[in-house]
Structure 1
Amino acid sequence: MANSSFNPETQTYNSPRPPIKLPTSFDLSLTSFIFQSTSSFPHQTALIDADSNETITFLQLQSLVSSLAYALRHRFHVAKHDVVLIVAPNSIHFPICFLAIVSIGAIATTANPSFTFNEISKQVKDCNPKLIITIPELYNKVNPFNVPLVFLSQSSTSPKCSYYSDIIKNYAEQALNSNNNVTQNDVAALMYSSGTTGTSKGVMLTHKNFIASTLNFTADQDRYMEGRNVCLCFLPMSHGFGTVLSLAQLRRGNVFFSMAKFGLEKVLGAIEKYKVTHMFVVPPVMIYIAKQGMMMKNKYDLWSLKQIISSAAPLSRDLIQTCSHILPHVEIFQGYGMTEACGKISLENPKEGSRLSGSTGTLMPLIQSKIVSVSTIKPLPPNQIGEIWIRGPTVTPGYFNNLEATKVGIDEEGWVHTGDLGYFDEQGQLFVVDRIKELIKCYGFQVAPAELEGLLLSHPDIDDAVVIPYPDVNVGEVPIAYVVRASNRTITEEDVKQFVANKVAHFKRLRTVTFVESVPRSVSGKILRRELIQKVRSKI
C-alpha cells in the first residue's frame, strides 16, 4: 500500500484524514466559538460532576461563564492580558472558570493541586497572576503569594475570602458585552510544561490554537457522524490534555463527565450509571484494568463504553491485547500529543488500518510532520528513525518570557522540535520509539531531571547529582538519583529521598538513591545521562 501521507518533494508527512476547515473570523474568542456550536441544543446536559452529582445544561453553562466573566472584570478588575491561576482538582467549575477567564481576553494558567508551595511559587513568579482560583484545602499553599483568592467550595474551616457560589449568585443577572476585543491570535492560556529541554516553562497557547485543537480532537467523531457521546474525565484538567479534552467535548455538544480522582470501582460505577461512551486514560490506568478488570467487569454493566483512548506515554502491544480481552466490545487505542501542540499530534483510527500495532496512529488533520536525522538534520523517508518535528495551527507560538527556549524548540519555519524519536511506516502510522529529551514520564506527568538535580545540589551535604528514568511496569518510569556526597558527610539514602519528597509532588519523588564517587560528564561538563541510562538498563 502506498503512503498517501508522505510528500517526497517536501519530505513532509501530512494527515491522511479529511481536512478540517477553520473559522476565518479574526475577532473570535475560544469561548464564543464553543457557544456558537452549542446554541442549537441549549437544554441538553453539558457537564456532570461525579463527586457532587450536579448537572449543568449548555444554557446554564453559558450563563455561568458570563456571570463569572463579568465579576472577573468588574469586581476583581481583571483586564485583557492579565493572568488568572487555577489551582484545583477536577470539577464542573473548572471549565467554567477557564472559559470565563479567556472570554475577557485574560490568560488562564493552571497548576496541579498536588504541587508543593515551592513548585507553585516558581509558576507564580514567572507569570504574576492577578487572581488565584482554588479550594480551601489548598489555602496554605497559595495564601503566601498575597494574591486575591476565589474558593470554588466552602468548608467549616474556610478562611474569609471570595467564594465562587456567592459570586455567581451576586452577578447572576449580569452579562458582559460580547465584544471584548479578543482575537484568535491573543494568548488564551499558559500551560506549564518541561517542553523539549530543561525545567518548566509557560507554553503560550492562543485562542486559535485551542479552536483548531478542539476541532482536531473530535474530528473522527464528526467524520463518522457519531451521536452525542458521554466522555468521562478523571485526567487532571490542570494538565493541557485534560483542558483540551473538556473544551473539545463541550464544543461538539457531548456530555462531559468530571471526576476529581481515579478509582477503578468508582469509574466502572460511573460508566454503568451515566452510560459513558468514551474514556481518556494514561497507561497506569490501563495497567489497573489489565490487573483488576477481569474481576470487576462482571459487577458492572459496561456495554455503553465504546472507546478507551490512552495518551501521555506509549502503551505496549501486550497491554493493549490484555485489556482488549477483558473488554472485547471496546475499541482500545492510543495517541501521541504534547502541550506545545495544544493536544493531539496523532491518533489511531480503529475503523481503519491495523489494530494493536503499537503505533500512535496517523497525524491529526491539521498537523504536518517531519522525521529529521539527529546527526545530519536532514528529513527522512518512511521507516527511518529520527526526531519528530511538527507544525500546524494548533502549535504554540513560543514560551512565555523565554525567547531563548523558544528559539531552541521552535525554528523559523514554525517546526516544533519535539525531542522525541520516531518514524512513519508506509501507511503513515507514527511510531514513537524513544526520547532525545531528558524528561521522565511518571504516571503520565513530565518530570524534568534538571529540576530534581537542581534541588539535590541545593543540599549542603551533596556535591553532585544526576537523575535518570528507571522503567516501572505500573507507572511507566520513575526518577532515580546518583549522588556524590560532600566530603566527610554521612547523609543517607533516606535523608536524600525525604529532602526531595518535602519539596515536590508525589510523582517527582526519588525511588532510589545511589551514592557514587563521581557523576559521568563530558569534557564540556554536560552530564552523560544517556550513557548512565544504558548502563543501568543493561543490568535490569
Structure 2
Amino acid sequence: MISPSLLSERSTVNAVFIAMANQSQAKPSLAVDPNSGFCLLTRTFHSLRPDHPVPPLSQPLSIADYACSLLPTSVSSTTVLIDSVTGRLLSYSLFLRQVKNLASSLVSLAPLSKGHVAFILSPSSLHIPVLYFSLLSLGVIVSPANPLSSDSEVAHQVQLVQPVIAFATSSTAHKIPNLQYGTILLDSPQFLSMIDGLPGNVNSGSGTVEVSQSDTAAILFSSGTTGRVKGALLTHGNFISVISGLHYTRHLNSNDEARRVYLFPLPLFHVFGFFALISSVAAGDTVVLMRRFDFGEMLKAVERYKITTMPVSPPLVVALTKSEFASKYDLSSLRFLGCGGAPLGKEVAENFKVKFPNVEISEGYGLTESSGLATRMIGPEETKRHGSVGRLEKNFEAKIVDSVSGEALPPGKKGELWLRGPTIMKGYVADETATTDTLDSEGWLKTGDLCYFDSHGFLFIVDRIKELIKYKAYQVPPAELELLLLSHPEIADAAVIPYPDEDAGQIPMAFVVRKSGSNIIASEVMDFVAKQVAPYKKIRRLSFVNNIPKSASGKILRRELVTYALNGSVSSKL
C-alpha cells in the first residue's frame, strides 16, 4: 500500500533519478548503424535512446508506488484532478489520502487481495484515478471497460477476466452479473465513505502489500476493430518501464520542467488514457477530466482551465485544424499535443502548424499489447519529421518482416512490424491461441501493422495489414487515401474501405463527410484523388455520410462501414 512517508522521500528519489539520467549515454553495439539503429548481422533495429534509470525487476514495486515516489516534494497543495463539467477539484494531498483510505477500506470490507481482478465500468470522473491507484497499490488487477459497451460485450469481458468485484455507476451497474464481492457504485454514499475514511471503514492493520513487478497490473481490452475483443495482460514492470522513460525525458529537457495542465479527451479505460494518467500524476501535473468527449466542451475546457497539453488522436487534430468553431475560443495556452492511435498525415500536420504555430505535435506509436508505447518523438527536431511516429523507446528492438518470405528487411523496406521490449504484454487472458499467434517463442510481438524505418531510425506506419485493399494484384493502403481526402479543404472527415468487386476482387470505396456549407459532389472528390495516385489506387465508389464511426481511441470502425456499404445504398459509382 502507498506509504504515507513518500512525500518526505521524494526529493531523494528525484535527486538520484536526475544524477543517473545525467550520467547516462547511448551505448549502441559496434554492429549497429548509429543513424538507423539497424544491425546487419541480426537484421534487427535497436533503440539509440540514451540509458535511463529503471528500478531492477527483482525489486518489489507496484506502478502506483513507483509513480508516487517520483512526485515533486512541493506538490502537496497542487491540484491533481479537475472535473471539466463541475469544476470540482482534488489536491495531491487529498488524492493521496483518498487512495490510502480506499485501499484500507477495500482490504477490510471486500476483502480484496493481490491477484484478484476488479472490473470497472464507469465514465471518467475524479473517483477513477483514486480507484486505479488504490487497487494497483494492493496488487489487485485493474480491468476497465467502455461504459457504452452492450450487455453482451460486458458479459464477454467479464467471462474473460473473471473479476471478484466490480465498480460501476448507477447507470452502468445493470450490465454486470453477480460477482463474489458484488458491485460498488462510485456515485453512492458507500463509496464516498470509503474514500473519506469514515470510522468503521478503515482497517489500520491491513499492512503493506508486496507487489512484484512481474505481477499483472491491468487487463486492458484491445479495440476489437479486427475481431472479438481480447484482454491484454500488462504487468507493473511494463508500466514502470513506460513511466520511467517519460519521466526521464522531462528531467533531461530543462525546457520541459514546468507543470503541465492536461485535458483528457480520451477515456481512462483505453491504454493511452491509462498510462498518460499515471505519467501525469508522477510528474505532479494537473489533469482535467472530461466525462465524455464533445468537441465544443473540449474547446471550452481548454479556454477555461488554460490547458497546455492534450493526448489526442489524428481525427481530433484534423477537427482542430478545419473547424471554424475552434476560432471562437481562446486556445493560446496550448503548447503540446501527444498524438497516437493512427498515422497523422504530413499535410494535416503542416496545416495544423499554420493555424497553431506555438503548438508542438509529438507523434508516438504503441498498442494495448505494448502498454501503449513503443516509439515516440522527443524534442522539436524530431517533431519536424512529419508522417513518422518517432524512434524506438529505450531497450526496444524491432524487425520489419516480409509477410511472404519471413525475411527481416533493412531500412526503407516495407513489411510487418515486430517488436520486443520491456513494455510488451505477457499475453491475452484466457486465449492461448491468440497469444501464440501474436507472441512468438522469442518474445517478438507481431503488430499486424505494415511499416518501415527510414535511414535515421524513424518509424513510418503505412496501414494495418489486414485492412489493405486487394485490388487485382495490387495492395492499396486505406490510410494513404484517407490522408489525401482529408487534405481537401471541403472534406471534414473520411474513411476508405475495401468493397467487393467481381473483376478486381476489391475496390477502394470512400465514405466522406462534407465540411459545413460544402456542395462538393462525388466525381469531384474522385478526380481530386485520381490526380495524385497511381491508377490502381483510385477511389472507385463513394458515399457521403454525416459522420465516420470511430472507437473511443479515434480508430475508424471499418467493419461497421463495410456492413453499411453492403446493406445500404451508395451515392456514386465509377
Give the TM-score of the pair, scaled to structure 2. Answer: 0.74
CA distance in 2, matches of 1:409, 1:196: 16
CA distance in 1, matches of 2:139, 2:383: 44
Task: Give 5+ residue unaligned stretches, structure 2.
Answer: 1-32, 470-477, 487-491, 501-550
Please tell me whether the aligned partners of residues 108 and 203 of structure 2 are also in contact (alpha carbons under 8 angstroms): no
Match of 1:325 among 339, 354, 372: 354
- 176 and 97 in structure 1: CA distance in 2 versus 1, 3 angstrom threshold: farther
Deviations 1:123-150 (A, max 9, x none): 0111121111111111332256786111
SS of equivalent to 1:512: helix
Deviation at 1:479, TM superposition (A): 7.6
1:119 aligns with 2:168: no
CA distance in 2, matches of 1:334, 1:310: 5
SS of equivalent to 1:280: strand
Deviations 1:282-311 (A, max 9, x none): 12212221221x5533x3332221111221
1:436 aligns with 2:488: no
Q: For residues 376-525 of structure 1, what are the structure 2 equivalents within 5 Å?
A: 376-437=405-466, 477=495, 509-510=560-561, 512-514=564-566
- 83 and 146 in structure 1: CA distance in 2 versus 1, 3 angstrom threshold: closer
SS of equivalent to 2:171: helix
Q: For residues 261-280 of structure 1, what are the structure 2 equivalents within 5 Å?
A: 261-280=292-311
Deviations 1:9-47 (A, max 9, x none): 332222233222211252111111111112623222222
| Amino acid of the structure 2 residue aligned with 1:397 | K
- 427 and 71 in structure 1: CA distance in 2 versus 1, 3 angstrom threshold: same
Greater shift in the superposed pair: 420-429 or 328-337: 328-337
SS of equivalent to 2:380: coil
Please tell me whether the aligned partners of residues 214 and 248 of structure 1 are also in contact (alpha carbons under 8 angstroms): yes
Match in the other structure for 1:228: 259
Give the alignment's Cα RMSD to 1 decimal.
Answer: 3.2
Please tell me whether the aligned partners of residues 220 and 270 of structure 2 are also in contact (alpha carbons under 8 angstroms): yes
Deviation at 1:167, TM superposition (A): 2.0
Please tell me whether the aligned partners of residues 36 and 458 of structure 2 are also in contact (alpha carbons under 8 angstroms): no
Q: For residues 88-127 of structure 1, what are the structure 2 equivalents within 5 Å?
A: 88-127=122-161
SS of equivalent to 1:191: strand
Q: For residues 145-294 of structure 1, what are the structure 2 equivalents within 5 Å?
A: 148-154=182-188, 163-171=190-198, 177=206, 179-193=208-222, 198-225=227-254, 226=256, 227-292=258-323, 294=324
Query: How many pairs does the alignment contain?
Result: 464
CA distance in 1, matches of 2:205, 2:371: 28
Task: Give 5+ residue unaligned stretches, structure 1.
Answer: 155-161, 441-467, 483-503, 517-535
CA distance in 2, matches of 1:354, 1:145: 48
Deviation at 1:344, TM superposition (A): 1.4
SS of equivalent to 1:314: coil
SS of equivalent to 1:38: coil
SS of equivalent to 2:373: strand
Match in the other structure for 1:62: 96
CA distance in 1, matches of 2:118, 2:39: 43
Match in the other structure for 2:544: none
CA distance in 1, matches of 2:111, 2:179: 18
| Amino acid of the structure 1 residue aligned with 2:266 | L
Deviation at 1:367, TM superposition (A): 2.2
Match in the other structure for 1:11: 43
CA distance in 1, matches of 2:395, 2:289: 28
Match in the other structure for 1:33: 66
CA distance in 1, matches of 2:260, 2:468: 34
- 311 and 539 in structure 1: CA distance in 2 versus 1, 3 angstrom threshold: farther
Deviations 1:254-285 (A, max 9, x none): 22221122233322332233222111111221
- Aligned-residue sequence identity (percent) comes to 32
Please tell me whether the aligned partners of residues 15 and 368 of structure 1 are also in contact (alpha carbons under 8 angstroms): yes
Deviation at 1:188, TM superposition (A): 0.7
Deviation at 1:333, TM superposition (A): 3.6
Greater shift in the superposed pair: 166-175 or 181-190: 166-175
Deviations 1:298-337 (A, max 9, x none): x333222111122111112222122211111111242211
CA distance in 1, matches of 2:205, 2:365: 38
Deviations 1:79-127 (A, max 9, x none): 2211101111112211111111121111110110111111111001111
SS of equivalent to 1:514: helix
Deviation at 1:57, TM superposition (A): 2.0
Match in the other structure for 2:503: none
SS of equivalent to 2:374: strand
CA distance in 2, matches of 1:39, 1:177: 27
| Amino acid of the structure 1 residue aligned with 2:88 | E
Match in the other structure for 1:76: 110
Please tell me whether the aligned partners of residues 383 and 423 of structure 1 are also in contact (alpha carbons under 8 angstroms): yes
CA distance in 2, matches of 1:478, 1:68: 47
Match in the other structure for 2:335: 306
SS of equivalent to 1:434: strand
| Higher RCO (CA < 8 A, seq sep 6+) | 1
- 439 and 122 in structure 1: CA distance in 2 versus 1, 3 angstrom threshold: farther
Give the TM-score of the pair, scaled to structure 1. Answer: 0.78
- 421 and 539 in structure 1: CA distance in 2 versus 1, 3 angstrom threshold: farther
Deviation at 1:425, TM superposition (A): 0.3
1:51 aligns with 2:85: yes
CA distance in 1, matches of 2:71, 2:43: 40
Deviation at 1:67, TM superposition (A): 1.2
Deviation at 1:178, TM superposition (A): 5.5
Match in the other structure for 1:157: none
SS of equivalent to 2:187: coil
| Amino acid of the structure 1 residue aligned with 2:114 | K
Deviation at 1:539, TM superposition (A): 6.8
Q: For residues 122-137 of structure 1, what are the structure 2 equivalents within 5 Å?
A: 122-137=156-171
